[in-house]
Structure 1
Amino acid sequence: MPSPSRRALLTASAGALLSLGLAAAPASARPAGPFGRFGSPSARLTERTLYVHPGGLGDHTTVQAAVTAASGSGWTLVLAPGTYRETVAVSPARTDMTWLGAGEDPRDVVVVYDNAAGTTRPDGGTYGTSGSATTTVQADGFTARGITFANDFLRTDLPGNPGTQAVAIKVQGDRSAFFHCRFLGHQDTLYADSMSLAAVARQFFAHCYVEGDVDFVFGRARAVFEHCHFRTLLRPDLAAAPHGFVFAPSTARGNPYGYLATRCRVTSEAPDAFYKLARPWVPSSDTTAWPSLVVRDSVLGPGIDAVAPYANMREAYPWQAQRFAEYRNTGPGAEVTVPENRPQLTPDEAESATRSTYLGDWNLTPVRA
C-alpha cells in the first residue's frame, strides 16, 4: 500500500491530469515502468500521446523528434525521467501541446543545452540571445508540468566574450502555462515574450522555481507568476554589488499589463543587498516600450537591495518612468526605507493587479500545490 506521501502524490497527479483535460485512467490502474503514473506506449493517455524515453522504451528518444512527429494540434508528450541534452523548438502550428514529466519531481526530467549568445554556430556567426534558447515555444496553448528547462552554459566557457546571455526557455505563444516546473540558467534564464509587438502573449507560471543572475526573467509577455520561487545566484566573477537583476520586462506600450508576481518569494545565494528586484528593458527593436512589473504579497529576502531595489538598464529610459510597483510585500528585501525608491499600489489599484485581470477570458483551471 502506498505511503501517505506517495498516496498524496498519486491523488495530486490524477487531479492534474484531469485539470489538463486528459482522459487518464487512475494511477493505480496504469502500468508501472519508466513512464510511472503516466502509463506506457501500450496504455496511452489519449490517442494523440507520444512517449519519449532516452533509452528507446518509448515512441521517440528525443523531445524534438516527438515534437516533429506531433503534427497539428492537441498532442501530449510524456517525458520519461532522464536528461535530454538537445535544443527543442515548438512551431506555431503545433497548438495546444502538453508536455508531462513522468518523474516524481521536476528534477527527474531535464531538457538542457549550453548555447549562449556568443557561441559560434556551425554555419558561422553567433546564436544571439534568442538563438541561444534550449527550448523555444511559439505555439499557442502550450502546457508543461513537472519538467526542468535548463541552460548550463557558464561564463568561463567563453572567457572574455560579452555574449553570456544563455536562455533556458523562450516562450512566445498565447495561453502558455507551466506548473511545477524549474527554469535554470544564469543570464536571461526565462524569456517570457511574444511573437510580435502587436501580439499579446498571456502566460501563467504556478509553483515554479526560477534561478539566475542577470535579467533572468525578461521579455514583453503578459505573464503571471503565482507561488513561484526566484533564486538569485552567487557570482564568483564579481566582488561588488550588484550581481544582477531578477526581472527585466520590455512590455509594449500598447499592452496595459506586463509581469505580475503574486504570492512569490525571492531568496539568494549572494550577500545581502547584492541584487536588484528589476530594471527596465527598452530594446533597440522597440524604443517605445513601457516596461510593466507588479510584485505583490510576496516575500523578498535580504538578497534584494531594500534601499534601491530598481536600477536603469539605459540612462535614456530611467526606471522611474516605467510602470513598476509593489503591494504588501514582506521580508528584509521589501522594507520601504526610501519611499520614492519603492512605488506602491493603492488598495484600489491593487484590485486590478490580479491573475484574472492579466489573463482575461482565458479559462485557466486553478492548480493547487
Structure 2
Amino acid sequence: MRFYLFIIISVISVHFEAQVLDTSWRTIVARGEDAWFASKEAQVIADNVLLYQRDVGGWPKNIQMHKPLSQKEKETLKALKKRPEGCTTDNGATVQEMLFLSKVYRQVPRENYRIAFLKGLNYILEAQYDNGGWPQFYPLRKGYYSHITYNDDNMVNILKLLKEINDNSGYYSIRPSLPILNKTRKAFNKGIDCVLKTQYKQNGVLTAWCAQYDRQKLLPAGARSYELPSLSGKESAQIVLLLMSIEDPSDAVINAINHAVKWFEDVKITGIDVKLKRHQGRIVHKEVVVDKTALPLWARFMELDDNTPFFCDRDGIKRSSLAEIGDERRNGYAWYTREPQILLDEYPKWKMKILPAGEMQPKAHHNVVVSKDGTGDYSNIQEAINHTKAFPYDKVTIFVKNGIYYEKVKIHEWNSNIILIGESKEHTKIIYDDHFNKIALGRNSTFYTYTLMVEANNVVLKNLTIENSSGEVGQAVALSVISDQVAVINCNLLGHQDTLYTSGKGKQYYQDCYIEGTTDFIFGSATAYFENCRIHSKKDSYITAASTPRESRYGYVFNNCRLTADEGVAKVYLGRPWRIYAQTVFMNCELGAHILPAGWHNWSKSEAEKTAFYAEYKNYGQGSKPDARVSWSKQLSERESELFSKKAVLGNNKDNLKREWYENVL
C-alpha cells in the first residue's frame, strides 16, 4: 500500500513540476499567492533567482528563472555575481524577481530571500536619475538604454512597486527599515514629478507620453530603429492608471489625468480591427480589416505634432499603414493596443472619487457680492468683510464687481477662509494713499500705511489691483500679508517704496502677479514663493529686502518670473538684507539689462555676507551674469535647485502627493 501511495505522490509531483516548467517565468510570478509558494519546487526556483541576482542588486532580463540549472550553470552564475553588466528593469526584470521572492518569503521566511529583496530595492533606488526618471539598464549602457524609459511599462512597474511599499499595502511581504522607506517615498515622489514634467505638450496643450526621453533635456527620444520619437498609445495608458491610483491627488496630477483622457478620446480609432493568423502558436500573418463592430483601437506610435499613426520597419522609414512594412516587424510587434479602454472605463469612477474633495473648477456662485452701483449685497469691501462669520468652517467668497474702491481694507485674524475675488484684475481696483509721513506714528509708521492688510490665515486674493497711490513719498505699502497660507493670484500690486510687505513666519504664494515699485518693494520675513510673476522696477534701487528669521528654512523664491524696468532704469540689485539672515533665490527667471552684474548688495552689513543666502539657478536674459555676481552669492546646481521647488518651500506634505494648500486656491 505504501509503495502504491509513493508512486501516486511521485506521479502527481512530477506532473505538477512539469506544468510549472512548461509555463513562462512571467506567468509563474503573476500567479495568485497560495500554498505552492511554500513548496519544494518554489524554493528551488527561489534559489535560482538568488543565483541570477548580481551583487549590484539587479537581475538580467528575459531569463526563465524556473528552468532547472546544472551544476556547471550554477558555478557560471556564481562567477558572474560581481559583474553588473546586463542588470535591468526592462521587460519586468528585477521587479518580477523581487515579487517572486516576496511571495515565497511570506510562506517560507528565510533571511536570504529578504536580503535579496532589499538588495533589489536598493538597486532600483540607486538607478534613479536626479530628475526622477529611470533608465533601461543600470549601470548605464551607451545608446538609447540610458534614456528615461516608459517603454514596456519600465518606469510604471518601478513606481507601482515603490507605491505598494510606501502604502504598506501588504502586497509585498518584506518591509524595509524606516530610513529605506523614507528613500522610497522620496523616489516615488520624484518619479511622479518626472512623469508630470515629461507629459508632452502639443501646441501648448498636454497630451500623453512618449516611450522614452533624453535624460538631460527631457525631450522625446528614439530607441530601436523602428521606435522613433512619438506619442505612445500603449505606455501612456498605464502611466495614467498609475496616476489615478494616487490617493488625494495634487492639482498637477489631476490636470495631467484629465488632459490625457481627453487625448485618448480624441485619438481612438474605430471601424477597424487587426486579424491574426497563427501557426503552432506563432503569429504568421497580421492584417488590418474594416469592422464597424470592433472595439476601439489605439496606435502604438503617433506623430508628435498631429497624432497621426505611423508604422516603421527596421530601416527606420515611417509608413502610413501596417501593410507597408515587412512580415518580420509587422507580425512581431504590437502596433495597436486596446489598453486605453481600461483607462476610459475607470475614469468616471475616479472622477467621482475625487469630486468630494472639492470641485476642480471654480464655483459659479459667490456668497457675497460687493458693487459700487448698489446692485450687490454691500457697496464697499470692508463692510462685506466685517459681516462675514468669524472663523468659518467653509470658504466664504466675496465677489467684488468692477469699480474703484477707495478704502483701506483689513481682513481680520478671525476672518479666515475668505476668498476675495475681483471681476477683473484691470478694472477691480482697491486704492488708498497712506504713507510714512502721513501716518506720523514714529519709526514704525510704515506698517500702518497698507491699502489692504491680511491678518487671517487661509485667504485667497484674486483678480484685483491693489494700489498705494501716495506717489514717491517714501515708505507706502500697497499689500501687507502677516499670516499663513495666503495665495495672491493674478493681481496687480502697485506702489513705489515698500509695495509688498510679506510679514510673519507663514507661507505665502504669489502667482501670475504684476508687482512694481522703486526701493525694497518686496520686503519682509515670510516664506514666499513667486511664480510666473512680472517684477517691475521704477528706479535704480533694490527689488527685495528680506528679513528671513534665522530659524526659517526658506525666505523668498522667485521661479519663472520676468524682471523688467522703466526706460532709463539701469542699476538695480536683486536684493539686499533687511536682516542679516535674509534668503532670496531667483530660478529660471528672465533678468532684464537693468540688473547690475554684482546682483546683490550687503546693505553695508559685512556680517550679512556670511549669514545671508542669495542664490540663482538657470536665470537668463541680459541681466543674468553669474560669473560677475558678488562672491558671497551662490549659483545652484540642479540637485540643489530641487530643494527650492514649490512643494519643498510651501508644502506641508513633504513625503507624499496629497493636495497642498496652494493647490486648493481656485
- Normalising by structure 2, what TM-score? 0.43
Identify the match of residue 528 of structure 2 among 188, 208, 223.
223
Q: What letter matches 2:448 in structure 1?
A: G
| CA displacement at 1:272 relative to structure 2 | 5.4
The equivalent of 1:261 in structure 2 is 558
The equivalent of 1:116 in structure 2 is 435
2:524 matches 1:214:
no
The equivalent of 1:335 in structure 2 is 625
Show CA shifts across 1:46-102 (max 9, x none): 5xx111111211111111111111132232110010111110111111111001111
Say which is worse superposed, 206-215 or 126-135, in terms of deviation. 126-135
| CA displacement at 1:214 relative to structure 2 | 0.2
Counterparts of 1:98-109 in structure 2 under 5 Å? Answer: 98-103=419-424, 106-109=425-428
The equivalent of 2:388 in structure 1 is 70
The equivalent of 2:663 in structure 1 is 365
The equivalent of 2:69 in structure 1 is none
Q: What letter matches 1:365 in structure 2?
A: E
Task: Indicate if the aligned counterparts of 2:599 and 2:630 stay in contact, CA closer than 8 A.
Answer: no
Separation (CA, whole Å) in 2 of partners of 1:19 and 1:337: 47
Show CA shifts across 1:155-186 (max 9, x none): 3xx5xxxxx10000100111100111110000
Separation (CA, whole Å) in 1 of partners of 2:589 and 2:450: 29
Task: Indicate if the aligned counterparts of 1:116 and 1:127 stay in contact, CA closer than 8 A.
Answer: no
Give the CA RMSD over aligned residues: 2.3
Task: Indicate if the aligned counterparts of 1:272 and 1:302 stay in contact, CA closer than 8 A.
Answer: no
Separation (CA, whole Å) in 1 of partners of 2:382 and 2:665: 27
| CA displacement at 1:333 relative to structure 2 | 0.7
For the residue of structure 2 that corresponds to 1:357, the secondary structure is: helix
Separation (CA, whole Å) in 2 of partners of 1:314 and 1:76: 46
Relative distance call for 1:274 and 1:340 in structure 2 (3 A) is: closer
Separation (CA, whole Å) in 2 of partners of 1:253 and 1:343: 18
For the residue of structure 2 that corresponds to 1:248, the secondary structure is: strand
The equivalent of 2:506 in structure 1 is 201
Separation (CA, whole Å) in 2 of partners of 1:259 and 1:228: 13
For the residue of structure 2 that corresponds to 1:349, the secondary structure is: helix
Relative distance call for 1:332 and 1:58 in structure 2 (3 A) is: same
The equivalent of 1:351 in structure 2 is 642
The equivalent of 1:168 in structure 2 is 478
Counterparts of 1:133-172 in structure 2 under 5 Å? Answer: 133-155=450-472, 164-172=474-482
Task: Indicate if the aligned counterparts of 1:92 and 1:139 stay in contact, CA closer than 8 A.
Answer: yes
| CA displacement at 1:125 relative to structure 2 | 6.2
Task: Indicate if the aligned counterparts of 1:142 and 1:176 stay in contact, CA closer than 8 A.
Answer: yes
| CA displacement at 1:319 relative to structure 2 | 4.3
Counterparts of 1:4-19 in structure 2 under 5 Å? Answer: none
| CA displacement at 1:365 relative to structure 2 | 1.8
Task: Indicate if the aligned counterparts of 1:280 and 1:319 stay in contact, CA closer than 8 A.
Answer: no
Task: Indicate if the aligned counterparts of 1:297 and 1:329 stay in contact, CA closer than 8 A.
Answer: yes
For the residue of structure 1 that corresponds to 2:661, the secondary structure is: coil
Separation (CA, whole Å) in 2 of partners of 1:346 and 1:180: 30
2:405 matches 1:84:
yes
Show CA shifts across 1:176-216 (max 9, x none): 0011111000000011111xxxxx31110111100001000
Unaligned runs of 5+ in 1: 1-17, 26-44, 159-163, 195-199, 235-242, 283-288
Task: Indicate if the aligned counterparts of 2:530 and 2:558 stay in contact, CA closer than 8 A.
Answer: yes
Identity of aligned residues (%): 29
Task: Indicate if the aligned counterparts of 1:299 and 1:329 stay in contact, CA closer than 8 A.
Answer: yes
Separation (CA, whole Å) in 2 of partners of 1:256 and 1:337: 27
Task: Indicate if the aligned counterparts of 1:231 and 1:268 stay in contact, CA closer than 8 A.
Answer: yes
Task: Indicate if the aligned counterparts of 1:118 and 1:126 stay in contact, CA closer than 8 A.
Answer: no
Identify the match of residue 576 of structure 2 among 257, 273, 279.
279
Task: Indicate if the aligned counterparts of 1:146 and 1:181 stay in contact, CA closer than 8 A.
Answer: yes
Separation (CA, whole Å) in 2 of partners of 1:107 and 1:319: 41
Q: What letter matches 2:628 in structure 1?
A: V
For the residue of structure 1 that corresponds to 2:369, the secondary structure is: strand
Separation (CA, whole Å) in 2 of partners of 1:21 and 1:315: 48
Q: What letter matches 2:379 in structure 1?
A: T
Task: Indicate if the aligned counterparts of 1:203 and 1:223 stay in contact, CA closer than 8 A.
Answer: yes
Relative distance call for 1:337 and 1:352 in structure 2 (3 A) is: closer
| CA displacement at 1:312 relative to structure 2 | 2.4
2:538 matches 1:233:
yes
Separation (CA, whole Å) in 1 of partners of 2:429 and 2:557: 26
Counterparts of 1:19-34 in structure 2 under 5 Å? Answer: 24-25=363-364
Equivalent residue pairs, number: 299
Show CA shifts across 1:286-310 (max 9, x none): xxx51111100000001111x2111
| CA displacement at 1:271 relative to structure 2 | 2.8
For the residue of structure 2 that corresponds to 1:331, the secondary structure is: coil
Unaligned runs of 5+ in 2: 1-356, 653-659
Identify the match of residue 247 of structure 1 among 544, 548, 572.
544
2:418 matches 1:97:
yes
| CA displacement at 1:230 relative to structure 2 | 0.3
Structure (1 or 2) with the greater helix fraction = 2
Relative distance call for 1:20 and 1:152 in structure 2 (3 A) is: farther
Q: Which has the larger radius of gyration?
A: 2
Q: What letter matches 1:148 in structure 2?
A: T
Q: What letter matches 1:363 in structure 2?
A: W
